[in-house]
């Protein structure tokens, strides 16, 4: 049956009429907002909904098979994407970006020429004229399919096409040819000399997302290339604990058992659980547990674990010099400020700062953190193009996709590099968060931490506290008690005014930030820091500060403005009386034109005010200072960010981000909810509506982990966090619906609740597009209008009073205020008042009932008793005041900044204060483990204990992952005698083909001679092996031409590598049959002494006079998934990749016999590194076994200075000649006794050439031998070991055990006719 695919979305239809109807209606290319409203109107109309269901049924059918057909666009896109990658440089020309092929034209050609065709679906065939008639005249209800009729409907009729999440598609190179660049230095030098194109775009994935890079080339480091579906899975129910294996270092602990017990002690907390008890029981059951932990000096080990002195702590008698400590620990620096006291400037030490060095944290992060594989060195834009006929739109999500990060990246790349530096330059994005918190609920102990995140990491990992990606950089302090006593003594024993104490707090805060912003950090911002990354590339990192998240009181400190002053916004100069004009034209104009800027004019005002205070002795809050600073609500404090980062052009005002948690959930929405409770209380007596509200909320069902069961009385608002108010908003509309007797007021309440819920949902999205941001802009305007209309239509008509909880809170505030006054009076010598104040039981007054206005006054004349004078510190019962909804607040004004902030820094969840609030749980937990004396010191020490414990655990887990599993894999392979060789299946060491495909002139300085033709040689080697596999596939598919020989000459330049990479290994196991008919193996390890191999000489089979063996040194062990992007036969393609294993070897030349030498050993030497036969690729099946090759020491080395010509070959350590040790074992000895070893039968000789022979070695070969056939190759064997996903080890692992199985070489190779391709080695390209 013929199908008619849609050129826009790829769906297939039975008739052209269905396709035309689909294009005109459901696949129209209108705007996204229009389609959203159109879909809403269709779903609201029952008749339109029925027609939609019928048209979908007629267009896609009701068959399961049809829905599972592969999407042809996927195959076409892969084939077309590979085609331009194989173009020669002359074909690509000077293209700036990759020119995309015509997908529609390629699809029309390839739709009928693929080898694998989907079978026709019989049960979906419908006559064309019948379909046309049905499409024009919808079926009546009785004639419609059962699944579309009203009433019960079968489950199978409603199927959803489910797409799994995936990472971005692999990057496509700008130029792709069979060339190779040289060493890293030469590559970077040549790349720096190239003109910089505008941008490079990668291909789109299934969801239509693609990346855009700005720079001279697509980066070779892609942190997202190894992302799997499990990495995108947010559920925590599947996590399992793994047992770690032993590792050489356990920090201050002598053994594994002691470390695990210490880890349990550190992480257990002050309150143990059943799980902690079970974990302890499991630890005690390990072998040798008692002996190991009994010999541990626990006090010494834990002291060293939290030490801040690093290697200097060896005074404890350590022999390892604390080399396991790889951080600088915490620093303690005294803080001094200068303040005016009695018209004299006094400099006093007001406390100390516990802080860490930011540059040191960056160095540790880049060089040793195990999370650097997820660190984005190069930012990129994400584009979404749902309509191919419309331009793509921007996607806003991560900080490294944002405009601010891209702008910083452009500035760094466009600026001249430091003299002589050719290293890649990277922006390190820092994100700060700070807030003061109570450590316990019933004490006055507080902590003021400052956290730091790296914006180069994904927010989905960064915002999880369990990911441990937060860095504690400082614990701030407020002015100490000693300073307060000093100030009190200067004020003749009286407490200074609040404005003075607030000024001292702000001065101290910025003095502490001046310590954190040290000279080393400023140099890293200006000149960058050079760090060797974990991928072996040295980069220069430039530190940039992007965001600072805090609540409003903290923002006032950071911005050095007045709290709730005339211009209370830290980002613009809006007046207090204009705060309620959200969404109006005047409000938008103020945000654009009157933004706060850290410019010279602002600094001049602050400096002039400070100068007048210092020289003229004017008051801090006097008229002189107010005239200068009050119009902009500034404070006479020099901002630390402005002072230290002025030359870096950093503006602290633009870095202060929005805060959805405090500004809306605990701000605007909480205020609105509170006023709605006042309206309910005022609308009907005896709290009838309040009780009905509580009842409705209690009946709201829970929904997973999103909506929890509400408490008994939500109207009391006791101990509610931000997520509780969020739940109240999400469920508010059904609860408030028709709750008020007044229909007009009820309608207005539901309307404003809907606007709040919609705005909140848009502002909290974790991924925005340009379309959704336009929707957010529109909703912000409507939200401001709705609030003002609600106040005019509802609040003005209902007289509301304070709730009982509000009166009680005001009562407590007054009580605390009077108590402070009473204490001050006591200090002034009023002993009587002091005694009365001391007799008070606490700072909280007597409980206030709901109706406080009806309470009798304790001072009234009751029972005939004379009135008594109220005691100091006792507040009379307060009455409820008349209140209304107040939107003239900074938090309401901040709602207009969300859209702009998302465009600048990404979505709001990336810098929300919610992340910092979640991190407060750790200092509170550590506080319970402290002695409660020096809180900041003990918490800082405990933070280092946790961090170092975590680092040791990561090393143990890494050893388990990279060595434990790989050792198991190697042991499994070692026990298998039925294979010729084994190369690991892991993909831990990928090598990108993109930098290896660029062409450089031969005279490029530092160009590696072995790298010039790397990809060309590799394609020439892989091509014959891939060709035989493709012909075998076609033969199995029934193509007759496959039996007639070679249909077309395949082009090696069309060989492509899946995801543009191949994978390196360190170990290869080679099995062989010994002379005594036993089975043994050699473990060949790259970069070790066991890297030389023996191969059969292909010429020895025809000319026994030639030498039977060839010798080579292995430079690399690789595997790759390769495919062919061209035609196999006319109009026949097959792009499914095949796993291919290959070795890169450096050949030895066999020297002529030396008649004067009494030793008949084979003598070898390396050919010149520039000769064409120095290096080549071979198949692993050609290896006979490892060879023991010893230098001929008497002749010395080739390069006396140890500097060779090729870094890839490592020829700096070459000797002039080598001996082949024939006596290394008995089997090796018998291999040189040709024809005498029972187990050494003739081996299969590969048909494709192993190498081009040198002139010396060619003297042993017949001169009339025709050249080898390059177009034929042995079948790709299917006898590879298929393991269970384990990985190989980089360390050498041998197995000396012999097996009892006997097998000849003929049995090992098997019958050629029986060789088949392994289906496991065939995977879909790009999946």
What string of DSSP letters covers 1118-1149? EEEEEEE-S-SBTTBB----EEEEEEEEEEPE
Cα angle at 503 between 501 and 505, to 5 degrees?
A: 70
In Å, how far from its chain's centre is CA 554?
28
Which residue bears the tokens 């290994």? 1065
1154: phi > 0 → left, psi -120 to 50 → alpha, else beta; which? beta
- The partner residues of 572 in beta bridges, in order of sequence, read 595
The per-residue DSSP string of 661-709 comes to: IIIIIIIIHHHHHHHHHHHHHHHSGGGHHHHHHHHHHHHSPPBTTTBPP
Query: Which tokens hold the place of 256?
Result: 């594994």
| Residue of 505, 520, 60, 229 whose CA lies nearest to 1327 | 229
Round to whole Å and give the CA distance between 901 and 768: 12
Q: What is the 3-state secondary structure (H, E, C) of 773-834?
A: HHHHHHHHHHHHHHHHHHHHHHHCCCCEECCHHHHHHHHHHHHHHHHHHHHHHHHCCCHHHH
Q: What are phi and psi of 532, to 5 degrees?
A: -80, 115
Any bridge partners for residue 1175, and if so which? 1146
In eight-state DSSP terms, residue 896 is G
Q: 83 and 1053 in contact (C-beta within 8 Å)?
A: no
- What's the token pair of residue 1237? 């070893």
SS3 per residue for 1162-1199:
CEEECCCCCCCCCEEEECHHHEEEECCEEECHHHCECC
**Secondary structure class of 185 (helix, strand, coil):** helix
The DSSP bridge pattern shows strands 1109-1124 and 1055-1057 to be antiparallel
| Contact between 901 and 657 (Cβ < 8 Å) | yes
Phi, psi of 428 (to 5 degrees): -100, 110
On whether the pTM is more than 0.85, the answer is no
Cβ contacts of 58 within 8 Å, gap of 6 or more: 14, 18, 126, 131, 134, 135
CA–CA gap between residue 253 and residue 298 (Å, rounded): 8
Q: Over the Cα atoms of the chain, what is R_g?
A: 38
Reduced to 3 states, what is the DSSP secondary structure of residue 526?
helix
Distant-in-sequence, close-in-space partners of 1240: CB < 8 Å, separation ≥ 6:
1073, 1075, 1230, 1231
Pairing assessment for the beta strands 12-13 and 4-5 based on DSSP bridges: antiparallel
pLDDT score recorded for residue 847: 40
Model pLDDT, residue 594? 93
Which pLDDT does position 109 carry in this prediction? Answer: 35
Are 383 and 393 in contact by the 8 Å Cβ rule? The answer is yes
Tens of pLDDT, residue by residue over 27-66, are: 543 333 444 444 444 434 444 444 444 343 333 333 333 3
**Cα 639 to the center of its chain, rounded Å:** 33
Q: Report residue 24 as tokens.
A: 């005109």
Contact 996, 1015 (CB under 8 A): yes
How confident is the model at residue 115, as a pLDDT?
36
Looking at the chain, the number of H-run helices and the number of E-run strands are 44, 32
- pLDDT tens column, 1105-1121: 888 899 999 999 999 99
Q: Which residues of the chain have pLDDT under 50?
A: 1, 25-26, 28-164, 173-185, 187, 190-191, 194, 233-247, 310-323, 830-870, 1243-1249, 1251-1327
Q: Across 455-595, where does the E strand assignment appear? A: 471-476, 529-532, 538-549
Q: Take residue 184 and report the two structure tokens written for it.
A: 């890293």
Which of the 8 DSSP states describes residue 1215?
Answer: B
Angle, helices 46-60 vs 16-24, to 10°: value is 140
Question: What DSSP line would sit under 439-452, residue for residue?
Answer: SSSSS--EEEEEEE
The Cα 1287–Cα 958 span in angstroms is: 12
Separation of alpha carbons 565 and 890, rounded Å? 10
* Beta carbons within 8 Å of 45's beta carbon, 6+ residues apart: none
- From the list 410, 384, 401, 425, the residue with the least C-alpha distance to 199 is 410
């Amino acid at each position: 049956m013929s199908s008619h695919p849609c050129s826009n979305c790829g769906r297939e239809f039975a008739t052209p009429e269905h396709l035309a109807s689909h294009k005109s209606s459901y696949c129209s290319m209108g705007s996204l907002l229009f389609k959203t409203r159109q879909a809403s109107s269709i779903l609201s109309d029952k008749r339109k909904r029925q027609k939609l269901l019928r048209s979908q049924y007629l267009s896609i059918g009701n068959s399961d098979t049809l829905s599972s057909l592969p999407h042809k666009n996927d195959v076409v896109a892969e084939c077309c994407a590979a085609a331009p990658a194989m173009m020669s440089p002359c074909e690509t020309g000077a293209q700036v970006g990759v020119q995309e092929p015509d997908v529609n034209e390629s699809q029309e050609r390839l739709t009928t020429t693929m080898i694998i065709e989907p079978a026709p679906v019989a049960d979906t065939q419908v006559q064309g004229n019948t379909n046309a008639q049905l499409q024009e005249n919808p079926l009546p209800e009785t004639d419609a399919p059962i699944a579309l009729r009203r009433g019960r409907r079968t489950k199978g009729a409603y199927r959803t096409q489910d797409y799994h999440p995936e990472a971005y598609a692999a990057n496509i190179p700008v130029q792709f040819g069979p060339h190779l660049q040289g060493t890293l230095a030469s590559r970077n030098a040549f790349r720096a000399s190239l003109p910089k194109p505008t941008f490079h775009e990668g291909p789109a994935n299934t969801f239509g997302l693609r990346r855009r890079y700005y720079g001279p080339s697509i980066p070779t480091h892609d942190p997202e290339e190894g992302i799997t579906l499990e990495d995108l899975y947010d559920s925590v129910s599947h996590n399992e604990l793994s047992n770690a294996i032993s590792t050489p270092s356990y920090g201050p602990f002598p053994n594994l058992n002691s470390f695990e017990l210490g880890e349990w002690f550190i992480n257990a907390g002050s309150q143990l659980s059943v799980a902690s008890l079970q974990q302890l029981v499991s630890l005690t059951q390990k072998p040798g547990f008692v002996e190991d932990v009994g010999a541990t000096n626990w006090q010494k080990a834990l002291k060293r674990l939290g030490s801040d002195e690093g290697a200097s702590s060896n005074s404890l008698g350590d022999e390892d010099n604390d080399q396991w400590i790889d951080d600088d620990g915490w620093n303690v620096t005294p803080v001094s400020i200068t303040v005016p006291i009695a018209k004299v400037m006094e400099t006093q030490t007001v406390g100390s700062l516990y802080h860490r060095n930011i540059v040191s944290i960056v160095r540790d992060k880049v060089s040793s953190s195990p999370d650097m594989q997820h660190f984005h060195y190069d930012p990129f834009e994400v584009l979404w193009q749902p309509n191919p006929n419309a331009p793509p739109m921007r996607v806003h999500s991560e900080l490294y996709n944002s405009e601010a990060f891209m702008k910083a990246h452009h500035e760094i790349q466009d600026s001249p590099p430091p003299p002589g530096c050719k290293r890649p330059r990277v922006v390190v994005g820092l994100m700060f968060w700070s807030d003061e918190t109570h450590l316990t609920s019933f004490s006055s102990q507080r902590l003021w931490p400052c956290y730091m995140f790296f914006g180069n990491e994904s927010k989905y990992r960064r915002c999880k506290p369990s990911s441990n990606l937060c860095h504690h950089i400082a614990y701030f302090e407020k002015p100490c008690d000693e300073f307060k006593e000093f100030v009190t003594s200067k004020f003749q024993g009286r407490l200074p005014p609040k404005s003075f104490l607030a000024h001292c707090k702000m001065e101290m805060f910025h003095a502490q930030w001046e310590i954190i912003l040290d000279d080393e950090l400023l140099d890293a911002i200006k000149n960058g820091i050079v760090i060797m990354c974990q991928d072996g590339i040295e980069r220069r990192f430039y530190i940039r500060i992007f965001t600072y998240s805090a609540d409003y009181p903290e923002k006032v400190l950071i911005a050095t403005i007045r709290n709730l002053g005339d211009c209370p916004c830290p980002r613009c100069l809006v007046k207090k009386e204009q705060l309620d004009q959200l969404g109006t034209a005047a409000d938008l104009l103020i945000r654009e034109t009157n933004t706060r800027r850290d410019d010279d004019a602002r600094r001049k005002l602050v400096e002039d005010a400070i100068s007048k205070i210092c020289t003229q002795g004017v008051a801090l809050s006097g008229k002189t200072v107010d005239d200068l600073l009050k119009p902009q609500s500034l404070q006479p404090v020099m901002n630390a960010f402005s002072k230290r980062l002025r030359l870096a052009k950093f503006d602290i005002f633009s870095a202060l981000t929005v805060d959805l948690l405090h500004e809306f959930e605990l701000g605007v929405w909480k205020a609105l909810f509170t006023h709605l409770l006042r309206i309910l209380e005022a609308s009907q007596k005896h709290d009838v509506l309040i009780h009905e509200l509580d009842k409705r909320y209690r009946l709201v069902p829970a929904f997973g982990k999103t909506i929890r069961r509400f408490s008994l009385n939500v109207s009391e608002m006791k101990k509610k966090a931000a997520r509780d108010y969020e739940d109240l908003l999400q469920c508010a509309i059904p609860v408030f619906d028709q709750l008020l007797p007044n229909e007009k007021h009820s309608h207005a309440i539901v309307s404003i609740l809907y606007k709040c819920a919609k705005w909140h949902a848009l502002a909290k999205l974790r991924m925005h597009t340009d379309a959704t941001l336009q929707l957010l802009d529109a909703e912000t305007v409507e939200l401001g209008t709705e609030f003002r209309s609600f106040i005019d239509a509802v609040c003005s008509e209902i007289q509301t009073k304070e709730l009982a909880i509000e009166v009680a809170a005001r009562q407590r505030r007054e009580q605390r205020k009077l108590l402070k006054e009473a204490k001050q009076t006591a200090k002034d010598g009023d002993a009587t008042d002091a005694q009365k104040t001391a007799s008070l039981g606490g700072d909280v007054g007597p409980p206030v009932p709901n109706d406080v206005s009806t309470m009798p006054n304790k001072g009234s004349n009751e029972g005939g008793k004379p009135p008594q004078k109220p005691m100091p510190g006792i507040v009379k019962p307060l009455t409820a005041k008349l209140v209304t909804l107040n939107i003239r607040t900074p938090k309401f004004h901040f709602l207009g900044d969300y859209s702009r902030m998302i465009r600048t820094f990404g979505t709001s969840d990336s810098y929300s204060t919610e992340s910092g609030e979640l991190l407060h749980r750790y200092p509170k937990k550590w506080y319970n483990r402290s002695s409660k004396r020096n809180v900041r010191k003990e918490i800082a020490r405990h933070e280092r204990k946790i961090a170092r414990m975590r680092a040791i655990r990561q090393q143990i887990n890494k050893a388990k992952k990279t060595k434990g599993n790989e050792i198991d894999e190697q042991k499994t392979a070692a026990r298998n005698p039925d294979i010729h060789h084994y190369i690991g299946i892991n993909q831990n060491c990928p090598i990108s083909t993109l930098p290896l495909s660029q062409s450089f002139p031969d005279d490029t300085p530092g160009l590696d001679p072995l790298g010039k033709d790397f990809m060309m040689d590799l394609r020439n080697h892989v091509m014959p092996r891939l060709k035989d596999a493709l012909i075998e596939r076609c033969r199995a598919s029934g193509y007759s031409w496959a039996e007639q020989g070679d249909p077309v000459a395949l082009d090696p330049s069309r060989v492509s590598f899946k995801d543009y990479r191949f994978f390196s290994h360190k170990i290869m196991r080679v099995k062989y049959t010994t002379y005594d008919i036993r089975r043994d193996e050699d473990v060949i390890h790259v970069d070790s002494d066991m890297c030389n191999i023996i191969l059969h000489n292909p010429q020895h089979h025809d000319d026994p006079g030639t030498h039977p063996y060839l010798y080579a040194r292995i430079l690399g062990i690789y595997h790759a998934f390769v495919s062919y992007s061209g035609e196999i036969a006319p109009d026949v393609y097959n792009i499914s990749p095949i796993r291919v294993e290959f070795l890169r070897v450096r050949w030895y030349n066999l020297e002529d016999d030396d008649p004067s030498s009494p030793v008949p050993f084979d003598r070898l030497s390396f050919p010149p590194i520039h000769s064409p036969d120095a290096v080549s690729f071979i198949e692993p099946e050609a290896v006979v076994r490892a060879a023991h090759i010893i230098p001929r020491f008497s002749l010395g080395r080739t390069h006396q200075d140890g500097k060779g010509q090729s870094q890839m070959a490592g020829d700096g350590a070459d000797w002039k000649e080598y001996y082949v040790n024939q006596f290394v074992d008995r089997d090796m000895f018998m291999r040189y006794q040709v024809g005498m070893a029972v187990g050494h039968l003739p081996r299969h000789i590969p048909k494709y050439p192993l190498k081009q022979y040198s002139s010396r070695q060619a003297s042993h070969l017949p001169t009339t031998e025709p050249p080898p056939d390059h177009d034929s190759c042995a079948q790709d064997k299917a006898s590879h070991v298929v393991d269970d996903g384990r990985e190989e080890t980089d360390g050498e692992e041998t197995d000396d055990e012999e097996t009892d199985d006997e097998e000849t070489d003929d049995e090992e190779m098997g019958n050629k006719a029986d060789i088949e391709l392994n289906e496991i080695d065939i995977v879909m390209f790009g999946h």
